[in-house]
Amino acid sequence: MSSKSSTQHLSRVNIIRKKHIRLTIAALIILGLIILAGEITSYDHIDGLLSIPAAISWLFSNMLFSAGTLANFPTVLRLLWETILISIVSTTTASVFALIFALLGSQLTQVNTFLMYVAKLVASVSRNIPVVAWALILVLSFGTNSATGFLALFFATFGFLVRAYIETIDEASSDSIEALRATGATYPQMIFKAVLPGSMPQLFSWTLFMIETNIRSATLVGLLTGTGIGYLFDLYYKQLNYEMVSLITLSIVVAVLIIEAISNRIRREII
Amino acid sequence: MATQLKSRSKVTEKKADPVIFNFPEEAQLEETIERPVIMQVKNLHKNYTKDTKVLKDINFDIREGELLSIIGPSGAGKSTLLRTINRMIEPTSGEIIFGDENITKLKGKGLRKMRTDIGMIFQHYNLVDRLSVFENVLHGLLGYKNSLQGILSLYSEEEKEKALEIITELGIEDHIYKRCDELSGGQKQRVGIARALIQDPKIILCDEPIASLDPRASMVIMEYLKRISRERGITVIVNLHQVDVAKKYSDRMIGLNAGEIVFNDAPEVMDQGIVTKIYGSKADELIVE
Q: Is the pLDDT of residue A191 over 60?
A: yes
Q: Which one of B142, B155, B189, B200 makes the best mutation probe of the A interface by having the most chain A beta carbons within 10 Å?
A: B142
Q: Give the model's confidence band at B68: pLDDT under 50 very low, under 70 low, under 90 confident, else very high.
A: very high
Tens of pLDDT, residue by residue over A71-102, are: 888 888 998 998 899 999 999 999 999 999 99
B120 touches chain A (CB under 8 A): yes
Q: B279: closest CA among B266, B262, B23?
A: B262
The overall average pLDDT reported for chain B is 85
Q: Is the pLDDT of residue A47 over 90?
A: no
Chosen CATH of A69-270 out of 3.30.1360.70, 3.30.750.200, 1.10.510.10, 1.10.3720.10: 1.10.3720.10
Residues of A in contact with B90 (CB under 8 A): none
Residues B171/B21, Cβ–Cβ less than 8 Å: no
Whether residue A189 and residue B86 make contact (CB cut-off 8 A), yes or no, is no
User: What strands, in cross-sheet order, belong to the sheet with B235-240?
Assistant: B118-121, B203-207, B235-240, B67-71, B252-257, B260-265
Q: Is the pLDDT of residue A120 over 60?
A: yes
Q: Is the pLDDT of residue B121 over 60?
A: yes
User: A175 to chain B: nearest residue by CA?
Assistant: B126
The rounded percent of chain A whose pLDDT value lies above 70 is 97
Q: Rounded to whole angstroms, how far apart are CA atoms A228 and A205?
A: 26
Q: Rounded to whole angstroms, how far apart are CA atoms B222 and B225?
A: 5
Work out the average pLDDT over B273-281: 83
Which amino acid, residue A119?
A
- Crossing angle of the two packed helices A146-182 and A131-142, in degrees rounded to 10: 120
Q: Is the pLDDT of residue B26 over 50?
A: no
Gap from B243 CA to chain A (nearest CA, Å): 20
Q: Rounded to whole angstroms, how far apart are CA atoms A60 and A46?
A: 23
Residues B197/B233, Cβ–Cβ less than 8 Å: no
Q: Is the pLDDT of residue A61 over 50?
A: yes
Work out the average pLDDT over B261-278: 88
Which residues make up the CATH 3.40.50.300 domain(s) of chain B? 1-11+22-117+203-210+236-289
Query: Could you give phi then psi for residue B203, rounded to 5 degrees?
Result: -130, 140
List all residues 6 or more positions away from A241 whose beta carbon is below 8 Å from its beta carbon. none
Gap from A259 CA to chain B (nearest CA, Å): 27
B111 touches chain A (CB under 8 A): yes
Q: Is the pLDDT of residue A103 over 80?
A: yes
**Residue among B114, B118, B128 whose CB faces A193 most closely:** B128
Q: What is the pLDDT of residue B283?
A: 52
Q: Give the model's confidence band at B10: pLDDT under 50 very low, under 70 low, under 90 confident, else very high.
A: very low
Q: Which of A29-43, B253-267, B275-289 has the lowest mean pLDDT?
A: B275-289
Q: Is the pLDDT of residue B126 over 90?
A: yes
Q: Is the pLDDT of residue B13 over 80?
A: no
Helix, coil or strand: residue B239: strand
Q: What is the pLDDT of residue A4?
A: 47
Residues B148/A200, Cβ–Cβ less than 8 Å: no
Q: Give the model's confidence band at B6: pLDDT under 50 very low, under 70 low, under 90 confident, else very high.
A: very low
B140 touches chain A (CB under 8 A): yes
Chosen CATH of B1-11+22-117+203-210+236-289 out of 2.60.110.10, 3.30.70.890, 3.40.50.300, 3.30.230.10: 3.40.50.300
Q: What is the pLDDT of residue B4?
A: 41
- Give me the residues of A, 177-236, that contact B with CB < 8 A: 178-189, 192-194, 197-198, 200-201
Q: Rounded to whole angstroms, how far apart are CA atoms A66 and A70?
A: 7
Q: Is the pLDDT of residue A16 over 50?
A: yes
Q: Measure Cα distances from B191 to B1, B125, B139, B145, B210 in Å.
A: 30, 8, 11, 20, 14
Q: Give the model's confidence band at B281: pLDDT under 50 very low, under 70 low, under 90 confident, else very high.
A: low
Residues of B in contact with A195 (CB under 8 A): none
Q: B200: closest CA among B111, B70, B74, B113?
A: B113
Which helix (H) or strand (E) element contains residue A124? helix A113-128
Q: Which of A26-35, A229-238, B160-169, B225-234 has the lowest mean pLDDT?
A: A229-238
Tens of pLDDT, residue by residue over A175-188, are: 999 999 999 999 99
Residues of B in contact with A201 (CB under 8 A): 130
B89 touches chain A (CB under 8 A): no
Residues of B in contact with A200 (CB under 8 A): 130
Q: Give the model's confidence band at B5: pLDDT under 50 very low, under 70 low, under 90 confident, else very high.
A: very low
Whether residue B142 and residue A193 make contact (CB cut-off 8 A), yes or no, is yes
Whether residue A182 and residue B88 make contact (CB cut-off 8 A), yes or no, is yes
Domain boundaries, chain A: 10-63, 69-270
Q: Which of A1-15, A247-261, B172-186 has the lowest mean pLDDT?
A: A1-15
